[in-house]
Amino acid sequence: MGLTTVDQSSGILDLSRDSHSLASRAPSSPDTVAFTYCLPSSHDATGFLSIAATRPELTGADVTYADLQSSATHPTRYVVKLAGIGLGGPDLEIPRAALAGAECDSLLDLHVTFTYLRPEIYSILRDGFRGRMSGYRAAPPVGELDTCYDFSGLTFYLVPTVILRLEGGVSLELGLDQMMYFPDHGNFFSVGCLAFAAAPSGATAVAVIGTLAQASTEVVYDVSGGKIGFVPFRC
């Protein structure tokens, strides 16, 4: 995790699963987790990072947990497994084979903005999304985001909600500003793009859940319990 202080100095805070990281050395008890954070969704919101934090459920928070996976290619990273994707409610028809194996492991990453899916899974999401958005004016791609629309001049529009279903029973229902990227930040009546792309192929490639999808949600790292928790609308 990168940090910038008030005096603009910068550095790296190691919260990985490495035995020498701050997260691994944090005090632990049955009532605490290794750490939690909440990434603000806008410049006028406030996020937080808490080390050796009290379990959210003990403070009355509605937290749900996904299974924390192990990855041979990324042993110090935090990994969850994608179990399905909902779009506007019903799940997309993704072949079982596409959801099997390490290829559907997804890193929780603080270094990338967008979410990257296995190419065949991304194409199913993209095509389903485009089908439901056929009544809106398409816009050219923005960088690697190839599913964009021009909402300028509108006073109202509907976008099908993307729901990431993770192994362990967690469903992350993404809000508009978590699933769509607006180059004109904060202007929802401008060009907006589905904030997903295909992950690169390769032996060490892996899907990634980026910062936009995590925004405003408290992410709870119960490393000793083998779980990752999510509490929506926390910052």
Instruction: For residue 135, give Cα distances in angstroms to 7, 132, 178, 180.
Output: 49, 8, 22, 17
**In which domain, by residue range, is 22 found?**
2-231
> Mean pLDDT throughout 84-106?
85
Of the pLDDT bands very low, low, confident and very high (cuts 50, 70, 90), residue 9 is very low
So what's the pLDDT on residue 226?
93
DSSP at 11: E
Interatomic CA distance for residues 18 and 223, integer angstroms: 12
Residue 39 maps to which CATH number?
A: 2.40.70.10
Sign of the C-alpha dihedral computed for residues 2, 73, 197 and 215 taken in this order: negative
More confident of the two residues 234 and 44:
234
Total-model pTM: 0.89
So what's the pLDDT on residue 11?
57
pLDDT at residue 156 greater than cutoff 90: yes
More confident of the two residues 187 and 26:
187
So what's the pLDDT on residue 5?
40
> Mean pLDDT throughout 16-20?
78
User: In the chain, how many domains are there?
Assistant: 1
Reported as a single tens digit per residue, the pLDDT across 98-150 is: 887 666 689 999 889 999 999 999 999 999 999 999 999 999 999 999 999 99
Reported as a single tens digit per residue, the pLDDT across 165-202 is: 999 989 999 999 999 999 999 899 999 999 999 988 76
> Mean pLDDT throughout 89-96?
90
List CB contacts of 102: < 8 A, sequence separation 6 or more: 71, 72, 73, 206
| Residue whose structure tokens are 């497994």 | 81
